Structure 1
Amino acid sequence: MKPNLNTVEEAARFMQSHDRFLVLSHVNPDGDATGSALGVVMILEQLGKEYVVVNEGETPVKFNFLPRFEQLRNLSTQPLDETFEAVIAVDCADESRMGDVRSLFGSGAALLNIDHHPTNDGFGSINLIRTDAAATAEILYDVAVAAGVSFNEELALCIYTGLLTDTGGFRYSNTSPHVMEIASQLLRYGVKPGEVAERCLEEITLAHVKMLRLALQSLEMSHENLVASITVHFEDFAQAGAGRDDTGGLVNYCRNIEGVEVGVSFVESEVGAVKVSLRARDRVDVSAIAKQLGGGGHAKAAGCTIRGSLQDAKGKVWLALGEALGVNSNE
């Protein structure tokens, strides 16, 4: 289904026309999801609105420097006994990425869907989807302008964090002139780029290093060395003293190998469930592969969760990659 795309002005009117909101981002939130969700909160506060901001699961602690981080409610440990008639979902590539939150929606709830993923099928009542945007935070900047709110350090910090993380520190090909113009404007409000980069891109936990050491031992080359992959087994989490957050970014070590077209990480986050992350160079649109397997994302960065064993997950991914690359998996 092709979504009916709405404008930033319509999104701004949605925020202005309701009084109390449920704000959410996707499961396993990254910097863009967290920055955008809290950016929405900053806009709603200026508009004099009430809100509850939630996520199904923990939000990585490395983002705790963002304003109102302490208000992010983990629904898995803090269930909410309330329903909402106005919902704002940010950075959710499809409806399933919101997690199990439908029980919080009122019978006639209106949903504003703000996103930049090409796999988004327009699950909202209002769909502000711009696939040309580098980050959902880039779209949110334009919504804030349309809503007529004043930019300050808190709002600027949220949006800047989303831009920084989804462009890989302004290194990825999605870094457009508009992104750099926005970033330049945000710095005028007191954002300290070095500190944000240190927190979001540079600083890692010891558990991450231990997990990386284990993961690199599993490195496999396949598909005539066009694919590199690593595997994290469920028991590795206990051995490394790590949590799910500590596996973030492992896939990049695979993709960055010279000559590799697609990097893959298989993370057995629980028994019977494998989180697959895909990163590509130029030959493969990994969002199409992820969508085929029940996930979504972008042409060069996508993912999905496959129910079953690691062997099952690898078989499905190898087959899809083989078809996309036109070579066998060599396995």
Structure 2
Amino acid sequence: MNPNQVAVQEAARFMQEHDRFLVLSHVSPDGDATGSALGVVLMLEQLGKEYVVVNEGETPIKFNFLPRFDRLYNLRKQPLNETFGAVIAVDCADESRMGDVRSLFASGAALLNIDHHPTNDHFGTVNLIRPDAAATAEILFDVAEAAGVSFDEELALCIYTGLLTDTGGFRYSNTSPRVMEIAAQLLGYGVKPGDVAERCLEEITFAHVKVLRRALQTLQLSHQNLVASITVSAADFAEVGAEREDAGGLVNYCRNIEGVEVGVSFVEAEPGVVKVSMRARDRVDVAVIAKQLGGGGHAKAAGCTIKGLLSEVQKKVWTVLDDAVGVKFDE
């Protein structure tokens, strides 16, 4: 049995041996984080376990078609007066990505860490980390089989959503033969791929359009046109009546410009806190850049959150990018 199979078996045993769990994903959850967290919830239900599923903040409403979405606690609005001895964290690239949820851990809590980010710092008691996986949802597919869980339309929908979103609709280079094999099996349980793609990849809010209009006015090329960036300030959000999730995907407009190697978005959802997202083509590993800035991710998709004025955060990012790209910001 290879190390990956051993880790999968350990994860399955973790779910079987404990009775009540805290389930969480990372702050600002995406489709893989949300689909994986709710997939774990469905697995625990089949195993006859109790659980509470939480996130530090809001989960994007576009994922409300997923089963058990209504069970998700937003700790900023729904504080809990309980601590947990068994914790399952999914899709968290490092311990800090769990956010304030850590306050719910009992002393000496056992923690199962399931993730696919190469920057993961193995913060769990049990760690199932597979950087070769396209999504955490891909790993959960194997865990479900090892735990003896039966697949149905609900569980298939959660895992499929994670696969779809983290591969960019099966377009990114992490789309492997294994990913397509799993997706094909999941469709056999009744998942409607067109509906999932519409909700996760196509449909946007009008507030997003208003934020995009503001953001495109800030678009700039730097580093001899190898880097493109876009900025949204807290004032922009307030003036157009938008929320943080309405700024999702802006970084792709930068990365998709012909000749650009790295796209960067600076999103200040609240004053003094800037979410930096980076996307790369081939020459630059943005996971390395993000890690230097206190974040993490993948070689072609990474990010971090930095406290400070927008202008200060931008200078900090440019300094790191100067070395990564081999060209200075103003050259």
Q: Structure 2 length as normaliser, TM-score?
A: 0.98
Task: Give the aligned residue type for 1:13.
Answer: R
Map of 1:183 onto structure 2: 183
Cα distance, 1:6 vs. partner?
5.8
SS of the residue corresponding to residue 215 of structure 2 reads helix
CA-to-aligned-CA distance 1:210-238 (integer Å, 9 cap, x gap) = 00000000001000000000010111002
Alignment of 1:1-331 (within 5 A): 7-330=7-330
Question: Could you tell me the percent identity over the aligned residues?
Answer: 80
Q: Whole-Å Cα distance in 2 between the matches of residues 309 and 5 of structure 1? A: 46
Matches of 1:245 and 1:111, distance apart in 2: 29
What is the rounded CA distance, in whole Å, between the counterparts of 1:253 and 1:17 in structure 2? 46
**Separation in structure 1 between the aligned mates of residue 245 and residue 307 of structure 2, nearest angstrom:** 20
Q: Which 5+ residue runs of structure 1 have no aligned equivalent? A: none
Moved more, 230-239 or 184-193: 230-239
Shift of 1:158: 0.2
Q: Secondary structure at the match of 1:7?
A: helix
1: distance between equivalents of 2:176 and 2:5? Answer: 22
Residue identity in the other structure for 2:128: L
Q: In the superposition, relative to structure 1, how do residues 305 and 77 fare at CA in structure 2: closer, same or farther (>3 Å)? A: same
Give the secondary-structure state (helix, strand or coil) at the position aligned to 1:101: helix
Identify if the C-alpha distance between structure 1 residues 215 and 142 changes in structure 2 by more than 3 Å, giving closer, same or farther.
same
Asked whether the equivalents of residues 43 and 149 of structure 1 are also in contact (C-alpha less than 8 Å), the reply is yes
Quote how far apart the aligned CAs of 1:130 are. 0.1
Tell me: CA distance 1:256–1:267, structure 2 relative to 1, closer, same or farther (3 Å). Answer: same
Q: Distance in 2 between matches of 1:311 and 1:237?
A: 17
Question: Residues 153-212 of structure 1: CA distance to partner in whole angstroms, max 9, x if unpaired?
Answer: 000000000000000000000000000000000000000000000000000000000000
CA-atom RMSD in angstroms? 1.1
Q: How many angstroms apart in 1 are the aligned matches of 2:182 and 2:200?
A: 19
| Runs of 4+ displaced beyond 2 Å | none
CA distance in 2 between counterparts of 1:292 and 1:5 reads 32
Amino acid corresponding to residue 279 of structure 2 in structure 1: R
* Separation (CA, whole Å) in 2 of partners of 1:161 and 1:239: 33
Contact 2:54 2:101 in 1 (8 A): no
Name the amino acid aligned to 2:103: S
Measure the CA separation in 1 of the matches of 2:102 and 2:329.
Answer: 40
